[in-house]
């Protein structure tokens, strides 16, 4: 079999351009290491066999079913030759002329139809042995290497009928615009936040302090002082105990486009919780991550909540695992046994779900509890089938619904029931 061993330089350059296309257009996590792996994989197959080339690149560069579908579309579009033959590599798909272009009549071809005559059918070229159609391959399109996919603004009008499948992660739904999270439900959210702060009992203080009721240790000094008022009789016993510490909160709000109005509701709840407790840290994430705590501290409570442009942390796609890992590694405030972590997300993720498990395994070891609040969980027939939620379940104390203010009021009761279970 020919083609095994070293990869031709021209093909190596095209593979590098192809990996850059996948990275820039669709957010594939591809760097120099993955490109080198793809070239090594091509060195082990026959580069003259379309199936082997496509399979080798597919195995190295695709990490999920969604990426496999996008890979097939881009492979068909990129490795497409019009005019001259591709150096060192024959066309990986049967060559067809772009509709609407003028074609020269060669020997053996049918002349162009005259006026009033129907066009003659074009002969279908017989595929080579290596060009047998794959059952899972998308239909080829007439696109030259390095050109935009059909459906983009620069595509010719004749390609408008070709469906365009694009899963590009938008860095921001409305670049340069402020985030409007106003609403008239702040009083209700303040009551829900107060109930949550009062209901949490995570850790106890190290030092013994006087207790209003009976405690684990007798306070002899205060008991004797009280006895001096009753002629030496210790009629009232004083006690010491370790009171519960005020809980900390770490809120991670999914600001992706799929969250819609639920994201702004959770922003207002984060503001209410911040007004009821100063031990609150708030982050927003989409394709990126940003810390909202300083912005919430400066937000006046009497006016609708408005935040400045949050960039790639709001209104785009979702990279839950990557951003949770950043929080686990870069969180400024300490995450300890007094901390309750609230992840406010629908779980629709475009990243690697394994990263979600890695991040939550670290956070769960350090925190007092990890709770996932999902708007989708409010549906009666909800099942945690999202990849990110399924990866997070082993490390969660509870997966609870949050589709409105009523669910936030019920949060303390549901948390107590989940911790007792």
- What predicted TM-score, i.e. pTM, was given to this entire model? 0.53
Reply yes or no on whether the pLDDT at 229 is more than 50. Answer: yes
If you average pLDDT over residues 253-280, what whole number do you get?
A: 87
Q: How confident is the model at residue 72 (pLDDT cuts 50, 70, 90)?
A: confident
Q: Name which residue leads in pLDDT, 23 or 252.
A: 252
If you average pLDDT over residues 200-223, what whole number do you get?
A: 71
Pairing of strands 369-374, 289-291: unpaired
The burial of 309, by beta-carbon neighbours within 10 Å (0-12 exposed, 13-18 middle, 19 or more buried), is given as middle
Reply yes or no on whether the pLDDT at 264 is more than 50. Answer: yes
pLDDT of residue 206: 64
If you average pLDDT over residues 18-34, what whole number do you get?
A: 85
Q: Name which residue leads in pLDDT, 28 or 137.
A: 28
Identify the three-state secondary structure at position 420: helix
Q: Name which residue leads in pLDDT, 229 or 381.
A: 381
The burial of 277, by beta-carbon neighbours within 10 Å (0-12 exposed, 13-18 middle, 19 or more buried), is given as middle
358-389: per-residue pLDDT in tens?
999 999 888 888 999 999 998 888 888 888 99
pLDDT of residue 85: 42
Q: Which two tokens stand for residue 5?
A: 């061993």
SS (H, E, C) 309-362: CCHHHCCCCCCHHHHHHHHHHHCCCCCCCCEEEEEECCCCCCCCHHHHHHHHHH
Reply yes or no on whether the pLDDT at 94 is more than 50. Answer: no
Nearest to 185 by CA among 264, 294, 300: 264
Reply yes or no on whether the pLDDT at 164 is more than 70. Answer: no
294-344: per-residue pLDDT in tens?
888 888 877 888 888 888 888 888 889 899 988 888 775 678 888 889 999
The CA R_g of the chain, rounded to the nearest whole Å, is 31
Q: CB atoms < 10 A from the CB of 375, how many?
A: 25
DSSP H helices in 43-132: 50-61, 65-78
Across all residues in the chain, what is the average pLDDT?
Answer: 74
Q: Name which residue leads in pLDDT, 88 or 222.
A: 222
Q: CB atoms < 10 A from the CB of 29, how many?
A: 14
Cα 27 to Cα 240, 254, 321, 367, 372: the distances in Å are 58, 19, 15, 32, 26
């Amino acid at each position: 079999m020919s083609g095994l061993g070293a990869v031709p330089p021209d093909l190596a350059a095209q593979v590098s351009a192809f990996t850059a296309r996948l990275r820039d257009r669709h957010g594939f996590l591809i760097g120099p290491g993955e490109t080198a792996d793809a070239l090594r994989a091509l060195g082990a197959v026959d580069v003259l066999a379309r199936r082997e080339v496509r399979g080798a690149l597919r195995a190295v560069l695709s990490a999920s079913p969604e990426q496999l579908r996008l890979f097939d579309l881009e492979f068909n579009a990129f490795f497409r030759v019009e005019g001259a033959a591709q150096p060192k590599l024959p066309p990986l798909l049967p060559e067809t002329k772009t509709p609407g272009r003028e074609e020269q009549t060669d020997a053996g071809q049918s002349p162009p139809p005259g006026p009033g005559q129907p066009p003659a059918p074009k002969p279908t070229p017989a595929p080579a042995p290596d060009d047998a159609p794959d059952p899972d391959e998308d239909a080829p399109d007439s696109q030259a290497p390095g050109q935009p996919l059909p459906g983009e603004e620069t595509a010719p009008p004749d390609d408008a009928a070709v469906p365009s499948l694009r899963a590009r992660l938008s860095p921001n739904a409305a670049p340069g615009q402020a985030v409007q999270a106003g609403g008239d439900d702040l009083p209700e959210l303040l009551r829900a936040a107060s109930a949550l702060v009062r209901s949490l009992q995570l850790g106890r203080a190290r030092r013994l302090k006087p207790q209003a009721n009976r405690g684990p240790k007798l306070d002899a000094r205060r008991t004797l002082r009280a006895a001096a008022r009753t002629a030496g009789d210790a009629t009232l016993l004083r006690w010491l105990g370790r009171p519960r510490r005020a809980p900390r909160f770490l809120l991670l709000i999914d600001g992706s486009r799929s969250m819609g109005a639920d994201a702004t509701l959770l922003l207002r709840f984060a503001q209410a919780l911040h007004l009821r407790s100063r031990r609150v840290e708030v982050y927003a994430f989409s394709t990126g991550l940003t810390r909202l705590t300083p912005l919430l501290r400066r937000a006046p409570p009497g006016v609708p909540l408005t935040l400045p442009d949050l960039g790639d942390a709001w209104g785009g796609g979702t990279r839950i695992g990557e951003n949770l890992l950043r929080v686990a590694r870069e969180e400024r405030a300490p995450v300890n046994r007094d901390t309750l972590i609230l992840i406010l997300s629908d779980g629709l993720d475009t990243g690697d779900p394994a990263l979600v498990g890695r991040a939550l395994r670290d956070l769960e070891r350090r925190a007092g509890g990890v709770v996932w609040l999902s708007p989708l969980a409010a549906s009666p027939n909800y099942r945690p089938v999202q990849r990110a939620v399924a990866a997070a379940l082993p490390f969660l104390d509870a997966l609870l619904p949050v589709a409105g203010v009523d669910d936030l009021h019920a949060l303390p009761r549901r948390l107590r029931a989940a911790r007792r279970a």
